[in-house]
Chains A and B, each alone.
Chain A
Amino acid sequence: MMRALLVDDERLARAELRRLLAAQPTVEIVGEAANASDALQQIATLKPDLVFLDVQMPGGSGFDLLAALDQAPEVIFTTAFDRYALQAFEVNALDYLQKPIQAQRLTAALARAGLRVAREKTPTASGAQKIFIKDGERCWFVNLSNIRLFESDGNYTRVYFDGYKPLLLRSLNQLEERLDPQRFFRASRRHIVNLGFVQQVTPTDGGGLDLLLEDQLAVEVSRRRAAQFKSLASL
């Protein structure tokens, strides 16, 4: 059973979605929100598995809402017809439903979401956590396990994954607090490295280390943190 939150500013749209979901045995509706700030609060307190999120909402779009979350839940976007929003979807293959929502499409979307939620709930696969990144017009839903490197860039952090490196509006310190220290290593003031992507380690003259990641990204480890790295790597 997936616990779902409905976010839409129109009461009728929520009522319609509620009615459609009543016929779906895999979903339980745990709450409703009518705007972005309300939704943020509900997500924090209810911790739903799945959020139905309207793209166009007063006080910030659905994308802005997700980008404000530390960890994104499973999301199915709902939208009437938003040309620009649909462009963002194409890039990232997020799941979305067009209003009026057809029951068949809803069933298919729920089946996909169900698979992902089930995977995340198995205790061994803690790596299925996701973050949502919105950089300008483009959006990404990224599994943490796909991220190679976080690089500090002023108040922002540049995130390296797949072929992209968008900016995230968070400081490196904020990110470090909630990343798994067993997998993400704070190499220096400027970098957090995903240990799974380290290919080569070379000692430097100053007693530090040079880490070579896939794609030839090189990261320097300060002397102070080198010992920490060695203890982690020997595990």
Chain B
Amino acid sequence: MNPPRPALARLNWYWPIQLVGWHVVILANLKFEHDAIPRSYVATCWLFGISAMLLSDGWHRVLKRRPQWIAPRPSWGHVVPGLLLLTVMQTAAATLAFAIFQPFGLMRDLTWLPGALLFWFTLFLLWTVFYMAVISLRRANQFEAEAMRLEIHAKDAELRALQAQVNPHFYFNSLNSVRALIYEDHDAAAQLIDQLASLMRYTLQSGQAETVPLAQELEAVNAYLTIEKIRFEERIRVSLHIEPGLELVRIPPMSLQTLVENAVKYGVEQSPNGSDIRISARRHGNMIAIEIANVGTIVPFSNSTRIGLHNARKRLQLSLGVQASLDLSEHSGWVKATLTLPEAA
């Protein structure tokens, strides 16, 4: 589920920066001698450039093996001796290069030595500081990504748990209906228990799958509506229209059921005359729209409704991507909840 990293981040920037960086040093040294540059001097600069690059690469390997020298806090007690050693080695290499090619003849004194040591020390120090900055930036990014991943994971678990929650108001009312029916109509009572059992099983298992086929969710919705028909009798009227071929469209479990429950709660339960509950699934281009409609008006949202809607949207997008959406609208006396999903899933 991790988003692909951008191409720039995937590229290994280490060697390009090494090459460019040390060439800048070489070129700067060459430019220092602006008149005619003897070939031997170019060769000298190249040689000590290469040695500096190799030394810094060795240093890179050391630092990689001892990340505690860099993070969380630079440990200068380890780094500075390392830098001094590098400086000595590089100065020796540079001296050797001068000795081999002798661009300015033989060196007769050591007056150049402090300047050279300071020069190389400064360069390696800059190299290390730059490296530290890159590392700590990368760590910060990783921390952020990790924190985000954990947060999403926790949210997802929480949403699943919420969804699998049995609606207690519904279940106790259903149990009350069952008890009344036992005395009134044995067969109807037995049927009601069957429907309750299958709905409860579906609800409890809903946390296990990321998505289910629409047909499977509709089975649970049917069980639910059958139970509510026993409770509300003629106050609830159901119509179902699923366009052929959409039975296998995958949706998050309980996403449709929750919306139907809401339609019954606000359409049927709140009105003495009840309401039609219209459920439909249609193709619109390469999107699929599943609609649940009930008679009524959108009540000013209570906190629980807002949170419920927000959670349902989040759950939908976690499972099906950002193209999936959930909208609530009111039109000429009907409240309509619309789930929109991308076809290919």
In angstroms, Cα B271 to Cα A11, docked, is 15
Chain B residues in 8 Å Cβ range of A99 = 172-173, 175-176
Q: In the complex, which residue of chain A has the Cβ closest to the Cβ of B179?
A: A100
Surface stretch bound by A, among B141-149, B193-201, B228-236, B246-254: B228-236
B112 interface residue (CB < 8 Å to A): no
Known: A10-B177, A19-B180. A100 touches B172 (CB 8 A): yes
Say whether A156 faces chain B, with CB atoms less than 8 Å apart.
Answer: no
Q: Does A13 contact B (CB under 8 A)?
A: yes
A98 within 8 A of B: yes
Q: Return chain A residues, CB-CB under 8 Å to B271.
A: 58-59
Taking the closest CB of chain B, its distance from the CB of A100, in whole angstroms, is 4
Identity of the chain A residue whose Cβ is nearest the Cβ of B302 in the assembled complex:
A84
A9 interfacial contact with B, CB 8 Å: yes
> Is the pair B169, A80 in contact by a Cβ cutoff of 8 Å?
yes
Interchain nearest-CB distance for B192 vs A (Å): 10
The residue on B at minimum CB distance from A98 is B172
| Distance from B282 Cβ to chain A, minimum over Cβ atoms (Å) | 31
Cross-chain contact B269 with A11 (CB below 8 angstroms) = no
B272 near A58: Cβ-Cβ < 8 Å? yes
- A15 B169 Cβ-Cβ under 8 A: no
Q: Is B35 an interface residue (CB 8 A)?
A: no
Interface string of A17-46 (1 = CB under 8 A from B): 001000000000000001100000000000
- The answer to whether B180 touches A80, judged by C-beta atoms less than 8 angstroms apart, is no
Q: Which residues of A contact B173 (CB under 8 A)?
A: 10, 13, 80, 99
Residue interface bits A44-63, CB-to-B below 8 A is 1, else 0 = 00000000000010110000
**Interface contact B272-A35, CB-CB below 8 Å:** yes
Interface residue B109 (Cβ < 8 Å from any Cβ of A): no
Report if A12 contacts B (CB, 8 A): yes
Report yes or no: B272 in contact with A19, Cβ–Cβ below 8 A.
no
Contact A58 B169 (CB under 8 A): no
Return B293 CB to nearest CB of chain A, in Å: 19
Bound CA span A98–B269, Å:
18
CA distance A39 to B335 in the complex (A): 28
Q: Which chain B residue has the least Cβ–Cβ distance from A56? A: B269
Complex Cα spacing A35 to B233, Å: 15
A82 interfacial by beta-carbon distance below 8 Å: yes
**B232 proximity list for chain A (CB < 8 A):** 10
Which one of A9, A16, A34 lies within 8 Å of B179 (CB-CB)?
A16
- B180 to A15, Cβ gap below 8 A? yes
Q: Please measure, in the bound complex, the distance between the C-alpha atom of A58 and the C-alpha atom of B183, giving whole angstroms.
A: 26
For the complex, give the distance between the alpha carbons of A16 and B180 in Å. Answer: 5
Known contacts A82-B169, A100-B176; A58/B270 CB under 8 A: yes
Given A81-B169, A98-B172, A13-B177 contact (CB < 8 Å): yes
Please state if A59 and B180 are interface contacts (CB–CB under 8 Å): no
Most chain B Cβ neighbours within 10 Å, of A10, A13, A15, A35: A10
Q: Are A19 and B183 in contact (CB under 8 A)?
A: yes
Q: Is the CB of B177 within 8 A of A12?
A: yes
Q: Which B residues are CB-close (under 8 A) to A56?
A: 169, 269
Q: Which residues of B contact A82 (CB under 8 A)?
A: 169
Establish whether residues A100 and B272, one from each chain, have CB atoms under 8 Å apart when the complex forms.
Answer: no
A227 to chain B minimum Cβ distance, whole angstroms, is: 51
Cα distance, A80 to B233, chains bound together (Å): 18
Determine the chain B residues whose CB is within 8 A of the CB of A13 once the complex forms: 173, 176-177, 180
Q: How far is the CA of A126 from the CA of B160 in the complex (A)?
A: 57
Is B168 engaged at the interface, CB distance under 8 Å to the other chain?
yes
Residue of B172, B184, B233 near A81 (CB, 8 A) is: B172
Please, what's the 1-or-0 string for A84-123, where 1 marks a CB less than 8 Å from any CB in chain B?
Answer: 0000000000000011110000000000000000000000
Chain B residue with Cβ nearest A35: B272
- Rounded to whole angstroms, the CA-CA distance of A227 and B29 in the bound complex is 114
New contact pairs (13) apart from A12-B230, A16-B176, A98-B172, CB-CB < 8 Å: A12-B180, A15-B184, A19-B180, A19-B183, A34-B272, A35-B272, A58-B269, A59-B270, A59-B271, A81-B171, A99-B172, A99-B173, A99-B175
What are some 8 contacts across the A-B interface (CB < 8 A)?
A10-B231, A13-B177, A16-B176, A35-B272, A80-B176, A81-B171, A99-B175, A100-B179
Report, nearest first, the 6 A-B pairs whose CB atoms are least far apart: A16-B180, A80-B172, A81-B168, A12-B180, A99-B176, A80-B173
